[in-house]
Structure 1
Amino acid sequence: MSTTLQPALTTLNIATRQSPLALWQAEHIRDRLLALYPELTINLLKIVTKGDKILDTPLAKIGGKGLFVKELEQAIYDKQADIAVHSLKDVPMQLPKGLMLGVYCKRASPTDAFVSNTYNSIDELPRGAIVGTSSLRRQCQIKAHRPDLQIKTLRGNVGTRLGKLDAGEYDAIILATSGLQRIELDARIRGELDIDICLPAVGQGALAIECREDDTEILALLAPLNNDQARIRLIAERALNRHLEGGCQVPIAAYAVLHAADAIDYENDDSGTTLWLRGRVGQTDGSELLKAEKRMALTGTQAEQEAQANQLGIEVATLLLADGAGAILAAIYHPE
């Protein structure tokens, strides 16, 4: 059954990057909206971002993953686009004035995928094996688990990264499980890293839709795509990162789940009313990995629970700061 649109809204423009994964994400949201509003015309505005152009330098040295969203945000400001679809883990913790995340979609797998043509798991890798990743978060946790491994920077879209693995430049590479699944490359996944070894990135596996704060018509249009449980979890994770003054390309991990108070079955469990948030901050060489966690029983309305989730993120971040996270992050932001 279609939803009745306001007469003034007949066309929607979606800003997107041009990588296969970004296009899948934009097309996925387009198709979901068309199922709700078949009379709507939806156009994709395909943009090449600075992050897509600079492929020979680690992201942490050129501004982080925010480089993948700035041009999309400018298109929204200029009203060339109404919305932008993002992988949430790429979205900076502080949004530009006047923009907001209008939708948090239901989360897909948050894990990291182990991809190799020779080995079945990270523990099977021989000493000194070369592992490719562009993420300082993955690097610090993998080095903490296997300090003997070599970590080598890996940039480019998914196809480019897999091509470098196939060319023998790496013994294994680590990619987001959800990204491979979305573009039907599940067969390349040898296994998913246990979250006890590699806690996910803030927002990993979730799509978010950015729009103008004052565009009430667009916000009403997007409302059916919101997932209340995912929104609560993701608000907690982003609050932790924000309180640590972390960006998208720092050795910070955070993962929140909802579970019943008497049954902690945390994998993909959105059925409970207790929010459990875990966070980590580590040295990039794996020599130190700080861990903190806390649970909070949620009460009240959706808005009240979102406020509680935000507070939980701040509290777990405060625990990490008390253990020395600030010094670790300061050394990364301001190396001598």
Structure 2
Amino acid sequence: MEEAPNKQIVFRDFIVGNPKETDMELKVGKVGLKVPEGSGAVLVKNLYLSCDPYMRGRMREYYDSYIPPFAPGSVIEGFGVSKVVASDHPNFKAGDLVSGITGWEEYTLIQKFDQFRKIQSVDIPLSYHVGLLGMPGFTAYAGFYEVCSPKKGEYVFVSAASGAVGQLVGQLAKIYGCYVVGSAGTKQKVNLLKNKLGFDEAFNYKEEPDLDAALKRCLPQGIDIYFDNVGGAMLDAVLLNMRLHGRIAVCGMVSQKSMSGAEGIHNLFMLITKRVRMRGFLQSDYLNLFPQFVDQIINYYKQGKIVYIEDMNEGLESAPAALVGLFSGKNVGKQVICVSAD
């Protein structure tokens, strides 16, 4: 069988706290360029890879979650856009463009097909299928419409608002007719929220000594909907500012450096006094809505009603630094790795 070299990013061992570049290493293996008959597998060449905060959790040994941890010594995996090289699966043929879970490597043999899809829309950037039209975009869509249950004219606050999920939540809320405020970690990101993404107001949480005061300044009427991407001190401050019958969609807890020893939340009593509904969710809970999500977001994008900001790193070698950078706010927009442009 013809073989090709295959660069791979391998997970070294379980971590505590945030990942470091040294927790991953670049190796070069080999891959057969044909798929055995009867295997039902698909061999893909990876084009774009997604860096996402949830991947940090998969680097912990004890991780009671919806997805198992990475195995030390294995290739890191995540969402990606790929081209089919060879196939023994009836739904995919050589040359097809696909999106789904793949390896952080040049070539991956796909044998599990959960959330693995053929890309139908090729008239927008391919990389958008790991962002705007991928898991982060669908998380924003399902979280806002299904979990937040918005009403026109409501006051919406989004944390990590310039990130892969937050930037779309804010724009969907504006289209829906809400007043939208976002927080981010640099002046550049705050300017993007207000001047490019259409948020009504935004603030740099790193420059705010009192988050409660910042929220009262930007949202004096209070908050009907909080789309939470960070947890921690921001969530605690938001609880003091929720309006009666408000909703909190818990999407992420990126402020937590580890699953143990994280700062506690002190203002949960506000859930009772304001009758607030606080709910965690996963985009995979709503996969029946994925086709309508794709149609609606493509329509908004083509009409110019939404924009999407990417932070593109070139080359598989850049992947460890890109993932690590998520947890210091280094990225501006959705962090993507370009492995190959063809």
Common fold: TM-score over 0.5: no
More helix by share: 1
State the TM-score, normalized to the length of structure 2: 0.28
State the TM-score, normalized to the length of structure 1: 0.29
